[in-house]
Structure 1
Amino acid sequence: MIFNSAEPYATKFCDYLQKPILTSVDAGTQFNKPSVTIEDINSDEKCMFYTGVPNKSVFYALFDEMGDASEKTKQNNSSSSSGTGRPRSLRLIDEFFMVLMRLRLGLLLGDLADRFFVSKSTCGVICEKWIEYLHLKLSFLTTWPSREIVDKFMPKKFSRKYPNCRVIIDCTEFFTETNQSLSNKSLLFSSYKSHITYKALLGISPAGLITFVSDLWSGGISDKQITKQCGLFELCERGDAIMADKGFLITDLTTPLGISMILPPFKTHRFSRREVEETRRIANLRIDVERAMERVKNFRILSGVIPITLSKKVSKILKICVDLSNLQPPLVHDDP
């Protein structure tokens, strides 16, 4: 960033008038310095609060990997011979920081526009371009590990009883605004939540890393149907085991594929001592997938009622939030 040599005097003068300081970025582009930038973050706690990233070192490491961001996040797709496009109002790193704030804090575009001293429309374009870009750029953070990798990092509490466990799955739902279409209302209505929702299936490895996330489906879809259609079975191998809640009645789908299910016993009678112990053990191991989903929903853009205006990119937003949550400290700590 290029600062005017007379800036100290300008700073005092602007402080006196209680007006924002003007600085310059890129050739000939003037902008008001945002009310908060990544340079203002002075603790890991604040970095997590604003961005969902554990610390500034991780933030900068991510940003350093985005060497093509300037080209991929242009604010227009002009095919003019100059290829310059619209000049940026913010530094590239400020745009990245702003989009992470949008995801982590769920801030409205008008609020972000005021914080970063840009117009609401410019803020909307920046967020839209970066969401498309980050969806592709961060996908490496959520990958399906090989059987060998799963075995290598499997905690002892799994290897003792369920050494073939490949993934622990569960579904989660996200509230959305009521659609005006009656047919869409019927598809999106969740009898479990008694609300219009989106639904996704998440899977974590025994070590606690999110390794699978489906696209968002309508809230009325069953757990069995979403598991069948999301592509999870194509990733599993013969001999693998999937741990799930007893609501996943998919044994008829997994058995022909050579995949076994780890489910709590069904209560058709009074449980024996062995069945009680089995239920307790599976519940204790499955709690990690609940904690993983809680981390994802801590990105507040997903925790409230998602506006209809985000419907076309909400699946991409979910996957970005999953990618970023995988940067946080491990959920599972191996016991001795």
Structure 2
Amino acid sequence: ISGKFCAVKGCHNSYRKLKMFLDQECYEHKPTIRAECKCPRPFKLHKMPSDDEGKRQWLAALNLKCPPRNIHVCSFHFVDRQPSTENPYPELWLGYDRPLRKKRRRRTCPDEAVLRPHENLAYQTEIEQQILLTLMKLKLNLLIEDLAIRFRISVSKVSRIISFWIDTMAAVLKDLIPWLPKETIRATTPEAYKQHYPNVTCILDCSESEVQRPGNLDSRSESYSHYYACNTIKYLVAIAPCGLVMFISAAYGGRCSDKFITCDSGILEYLHPGDEVMVDRGFLIRDLLFERQVNMIIPHFANKTQLTEEKVTCSRRIANVRIHVERAIRRLKVYKVLSQTLPITLMAKIDQILHICAALVNLRGDLICEADN
């Protein structure tokens, strides 16, 4: 019996250590020793189950090269502090960085995008808690291990909840990013635009978010941004003069140019003859807009000759109203999943994440009214 010890890598809990603790005098129930008082024990050693399936799951979780003959695991490595019906296998602090590769379950898309709990989960977590967990990941960009501890569930279940609700929320919230008709845009145009640019349809700008460095060399080169000197994703944002996000593109590698993203994202399909688009100096898309008879408002370039006073005044007027698209992007970056380094595990969901964040931004108050107040 004295040879009992926890089989997890790096864990030093053993029966001998527990016995030494129990032989000491209890501080609250002096002179009674801890083995005789009612105080809880710091840990217990649980033996590996005898059935074949249980043995296989335990050995797969422990990931031991040379497992001992008698395997015991202390209570620190179980979600419920002991093997339970919902969490019968050790899952916490197992002494290795890479999680085990598990076969992904095939998930069938629901017929209607309705908010409902994940049916494949074996445990019953309330729908509000699942949505809260997903929003905390988007807003605070907390580690999955941190969320698992906060909600008292395993890391794998946190990943499954986030994956499911990102897909579901993106399908439900897509209607909150509408392309407004001309009449609505004219009716909601603020005074800042009416004086000099009353016919502006939208303001375009690109933004970038840093991503974790990919291991694949091709992905690393495609996502490298020379402007930020790191790996990034790049996406196009179009806002109405009133500050509403009307369009957000899919994510592209940081190496892509603004012109390529504008041409490939599909935003040109929303523009009609007679529209006016306001852009920054980096958007060299005049030829693309000319084919669709769309006027482009862009600040003047300072070449070898100095700009005239009239051009300087015009550029300042454009900058004064174009600043609102920067404020709209800043609202997007409030969600730290876009302002901090994006983990490589979320790259497959980045398009849905962008649409969710843009939809949540549109639920806030008017952008320009806040500036006026």
CA distance in 2: counterparts of 1:67 and 1:287, whole angstroms: 36
The one-character-per-residue Cα deviations of 1:287-323 (angstroms, maximum 9, x if unpaired) are 1111111111110111111111111111111111111
Partner in structure 1 of residue 309 of structure 2: 273
1:112 aligned to 123, 143, 147, which one?
A: 147
4+ aligned runs moved over 4 Å, structure 1: none
1:284 aligns with 2:332: no
CA distance in 1: counterparts of 2:263 and 2:219, whole angstroms: 22
CA distance in 1: counterparts of 2:174 and 2:297, whole angstroms: 28
1:74 aligns with 2:118: yes
Q: What is the identity, as a one-letter code, of the residue corresponding to 1:235?
A: Y
1:262 aligns with 2:286: no
1:320 aligns with 2:356: yes
Paired residues of 1:104 and 1:298 also in contact (CA < 8 A): yes
2:165 aligned to 130, 137, 157, which one?
A: 130
The DSSP-based 3-state class of the residue aligned with 1:69 is: coil
**Which structure carries more relative contact order (alpha carbon 8 Å, separation 6+)?**
1
> 1:141, CA displacement in angstroms?
1.2
Change in 2 beyond 3 A, CA 1:122/1:240: same
1:300 aligned to 313, 336, 340, which one?
A: 336
> 1:137, CA displacement in angstroms?
0.4
CA distance in 1: counterparts of 2:301 and 2:128, whole angstroms: 53
> 1:87, CA displacement in angstroms?
4.2
Question: Scaled by the length of structure 2, what TM-score is found?
Answer: 0.68
Q: Larger % of helix: which?
A: 1
Partner in structure 2 of residue 332 of structure 1: 368
> 1:123, CA displacement in angstroms?
1.1
Residues paired across the two proteins, number: 265
Partner in structure 2 of residue 187 of structure 1: 222
Change in 2 beyond 3 A, CA 1:279/1:109: same
Partner in structure 2 of residue 146 of structure 1: 181
Partner in structure 1 of residue 73 of structure 2: none
Q: What is the identity, as a one-letter code, of the residue corresponding to 2:147?
A: L
CA distance in 2: counterparts of 1:90 and 1:109, whole angstroms: 17
> 1:68, CA displacement in angstroms?
3.0
Q: What is the identity, as a one-letter code, of the residue corresponding to 2:349?
A: K
> 1:253, CA displacement in angstroms?
0.9
Paired residues of 1:75 and 1:125 also in contact (CA < 8 A): no
Q: What is the identity, as a one-letter code, of the residue corresponding to 2:115?
A: A
Identity %, equivalent residues: 36
The DSSP-based 3-state class of the residue aligned with 2:130 is: helix
The DSSP-based 3-state class of the residue aligned with 2:220 is: helix
Paired residues of 2:225 and 2:231 also in contact (CA < 8 A): yes
Q: What is the identity, as a one-letter code, of the residue corresponding to 1:69?
A: L
CA distance in 2: counterparts of 1:261 and 1:307, whole angstroms: 37
> 1:266, CA displacement in angstroms?
1.0
1:239 aligns with 2:284: no
1:250 aligns with 2:250: no
1:171 aligns with 2:232: no
CA distance in 2: counterparts of 1:89 and 1:288, whole angstroms: 44
Partner in structure 2 of residue 101 of structure 1: 136
Change in 2 beyond 3 A, CA 1:260/1:67: closer
1:208 aligns with 2:243: yes
Paired residues of 2:86 and 2:122 also in contact (CA < 8 A): no
> 1:88, CA displacement in angstroms?
3.8
Partner in structure 1 of residue 43 of structure 2: none
CA distance in 2: counterparts of 1:319 and 1:68, whole angstroms: 17
CA distance in 2: counterparts of 1:69 and 1:224, whole angstroms: 37
CA RMSD of the aligned region, Å?
Answer: 2.2
The DSSP-based 3-state class of the residue aligned with 1:245 is: coil
The one-character-per-residue Cα deviations of 1:229-268 (angstroms, maximum 9, x if unpaired) are 1111100111001101011111011011010100001112
CA distance in 1: counterparts of 2:156 and 2:269, whole angstroms: 42
CA distance in 1: counterparts of 2:259 and 2:113, whole angstroms: 41
Gaps of 5+ in 2: 1-39, 41-84, 88-111
CA distance in 2: counterparts of 1:94 and 1:184, whole angstroms: 35
Question: Scaled by the length of structure 1, what TM-score is found?
Answer: 0.75
Paired residues of 2:209 and 2:338 also in contact (CA < 8 A): yes
